[in-house]
């Protein structure tokens, strides 16, 4: 495969070369060896193993695929940002006219433009910058981390640690302050003070966990060896190999869904089978039963405690989290029993064998209530009508009825004066009469307007021509209008003869007067007229 560029080969030599390559790929012949004595993989493609012609390779080699150029100019050093090398006292020739530095000109100056530059004031001369030149290769120019100091990241860590420490101290102070206020209130009751002090001590102990213990808990690690190569990992969803796989319990496509990536089947694949004969009822059954439910409650408690300011983490310190959860459950049960005892002491226990006093059993009331044989109330406890949130029976602005007592044309109003404005003043019967008169006047005006719109306006009479080839006997023409019509007819005929003046957009006029008709008839050419050739 990795042969050198040689002269032309005959057909027989080429066939032998192909057979040798096939034998090397099959492992029947030894692999080629390069100039360093290393074997060359026979499965490398020819376009990668064959050297270019301009290298003049005499032996098989892969040297042309390796990095053979050295990088003598590459350096990992970087610019010393902000470094100054010289501070001048007065302006020097050739320096920046704005700030006075000798390492740049006024066009590339990065300082604020001065009203009068350092060249003329000779004051506040800026120091000369340190200029460095690096000859980097292609990768060095594009290395985004070139010149980065990892030690600077320690400042970021310190800032975040200080913020977390301040947050923990603040939350602890707030919690202690609340506990002190609660103790001051509970000290007034001497009977309950002892139990409350124990509860407060436990809560204070939760807040003051030693950080050294947390580090001890954090050292606990669990590793499971999965392969013979030494790698470690976690193993989950294991099953006995003799048992039937969960996805083979029910081959119906509409049964419980099996996720092959996580090897989980949440639903029961055989819901109708006998529960005593099933060994697998779905992953959801395992998640809500046994220690899985306890672990879920422990996880939720750790989250809530961390949100409230306690330094607790289930994965980092599981023993500490479990211990705090046990103490939390003990305190919760004590509070629950204390609340129950206080309620029973105040109101009594209905399930107790002791009889309640007659005063508490029947109670006392001055209201007399009568019941029938079925236990229904006959007299003494009438149904209370629900009251509105609005004020009732309150009359304003001289009204004698409330707003909403009258309705007309989709509007509410007052019944006393039939007004639809909420804050109007009551005018009584006079207002009603005035409103009716105004409505009648409006109706009459509307009717008058409708009748005037229906009657068409008298149009100007135009005497239009209605005859054809015969002229009516009673025709009376205006001589002046007839002369104008004759002139128009002559102009129209002239335009028709002149094709260059013919208009493309023809406008038709249907209102032809008697004079226009007479002018057309007079100018019309009759084919049976013997003098028609002499008209024009």
Model pLDDT for residues 319-329, shown as the tens digit of each residue: 999 999 999 99
* Residues 319, 209 within the same domain: yes
**Which residues, 6+ apart, have CB-to-CB distance to 208 below 8 Å?**
172
pLDDT of 216 higher than 60: no
Q: How many helices (H) and strands (E) does the chain have?
A: 14, 8
Could you give the CA distance from residue 193 to residue 523 in angstroms, rounded to a whole number?
131
Q: Which residues of 118-145 are buried (b: 16+ CB within 10 A; e: fewer)?
A: bbeeeeebbbbbeeeeeebeeeeeeeee
Residue 213 lies in a domain: yes
How many domains, in total, are found in the chain? 4
Q: Which domain holds residue 491?
A: 479-502+509-534
Q: Which of 342, 357, 378 is the last residue of a domain?
A: 342
Which residue intervals of 227-309 are DSSP H helices?
283-287, 291-307
Q: Which of 206-215, 349-358, 517-526 has the highest mean pLDDT?
A: 517-526
CA distance 428 to 10: 129
Q: pTM above the 0.85 mark? A: no
Distance CA 263, CA 245 (A): 10
| Whole-angstrom distance, CA of residue 403 vs CA of residue 423 | 9
pLDDT at position 470: 63
Same domain, residue pair 305 and 243: yes
Per-residue confidence (pLDDT) for residue 76, from 0 to 100: 66
Between 86 and 193, whose confidence is greater?
86
Residues 395-409, mean pLDDT to the nearest whole number: 86
At residue 226, the pLDDT reads: 47
Q: Are residues 443 and 496 in the same domain?
A: no
pLDDT classification of 300: cutoffs 50, 70, 90: very high
Pair (496, 431) in one structural domain: no
Q: In whole angstroms, what is the distance from residue 169 CA to residue 162 CA?
A: 11
CB neighbours of residue 461 within 10 Å: 6
* pLDDT at residue 162 in the model: 95
485 in the same domain as 436: no
Interatomic CA distance for residues 115 and 248, integer angstroms? 88
pLDDT digits (tens, 9 = 90+) for 54-92: 888 888 888 888 876 666 656 667 888 788 999 999 999
């Amino acid at each position: 495969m990795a042969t050198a560029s040689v002269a032309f080969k005959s057909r027989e030599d080429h066939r032998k070369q192909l057979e040798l390559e096939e034998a090397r790929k099959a492992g029947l012949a030894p692999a080629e060896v390069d100039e360093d004595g290393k074997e060359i993989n026979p499965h490398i493609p020819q376009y990668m193993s064959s050297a270019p012609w301009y290298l003049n390779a005499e032996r098989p080699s892969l040297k042309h695929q390796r990095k053979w150029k050295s990088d003598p100019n590459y350096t990992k050093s970087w610019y010393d940002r902000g470094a100054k090398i010289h501070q001048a006292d007065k302006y020097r020739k050739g320096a920046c006219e704005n700030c006075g530095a000798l390492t740049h000109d006024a066009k590339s100056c990065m300082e604020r433009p001065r009203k009068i530059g350092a060249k003329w004031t000779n004051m506040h001369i800026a120091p000369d910058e340190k200029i460095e030149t690096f000859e980097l290769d292609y990768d060095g120019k594009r290395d985004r981390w070139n010149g980065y100091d990892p030690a600077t990241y320690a400042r970021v860590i310190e800032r975040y640690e200080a913020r977390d420490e301040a947050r923990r101290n603040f939350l602890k102070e707030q919690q202690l302050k609340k506990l002190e206020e609660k103790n001051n209130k509970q000290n007034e009751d001497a009977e309950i003070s002892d139990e409350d002090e124990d509860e407060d001590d436990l809560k204070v102990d939760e807040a003051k966990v030693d950080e050294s213990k947390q580090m001890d808990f954090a050292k606990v690690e669990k590793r499971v060896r999965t392969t013979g190569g030494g790698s470690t990992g976690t193993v989950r969803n294991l099953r006995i190999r003799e048992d039937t796989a969960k996805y083979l319990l029910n081959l119906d496509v509409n049964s419980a869904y099996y996720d092959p990536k996580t090897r989980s089947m949440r639903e029961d694949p055989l819901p109708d089978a006998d529960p005593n004969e099933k060994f697998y009822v779905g992953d959801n059954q395992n998640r809500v039963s046994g220690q899985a439910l306890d672990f879920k409650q422990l996880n939720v408690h750790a989250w809530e405690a961390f949100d409230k300011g306690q330094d607790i983490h289930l994965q980092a310190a599981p023993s500490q989290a479990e211990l705090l959860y046990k103490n939390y459950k003990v305190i919760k049960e004590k509070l629950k029993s204390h609340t129950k005892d206080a309620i029973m002491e105040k109101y009594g226990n209905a399930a107790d064998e002791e009889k309640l006093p007659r005063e508490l059993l029947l109670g006392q009331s001055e209201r007399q209530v009568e019941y029938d044989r079925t236990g229904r109330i006959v007299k003494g406890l009438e149904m209370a009508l629900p009251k509105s949130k609005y004020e009732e029976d309150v009359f304003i602005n001289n009204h004698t009825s409330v707003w909403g007592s009258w309705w007309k044309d989709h509007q509410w109003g007052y019944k006393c004066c039939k007004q639809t404005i909420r804050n109007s003043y009551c005018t009584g019967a006079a207002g009603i009469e005035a409103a009716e008169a105004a409505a009648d006047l409006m109706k009459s005006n509307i009717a008058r307007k409708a009748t005037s719109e229906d009657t068409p306006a008298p149009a100007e009479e135009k005497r239009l021509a209605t005859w054809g080839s015969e002229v009516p006997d009673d025709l009376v023409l205006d001589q002046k209008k007839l002369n104008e019509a004759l002139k128009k007819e002559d102009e129209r005929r002239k335009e028709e003869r002149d094709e260059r003046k013919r208009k493309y957009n023809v406008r038709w006029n249907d209102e032809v007067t008697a004079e226009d008709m007479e002018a057309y008839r007079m100018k019309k050419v009759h084919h049976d007229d013997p003098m028609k050739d002499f008209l024009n």
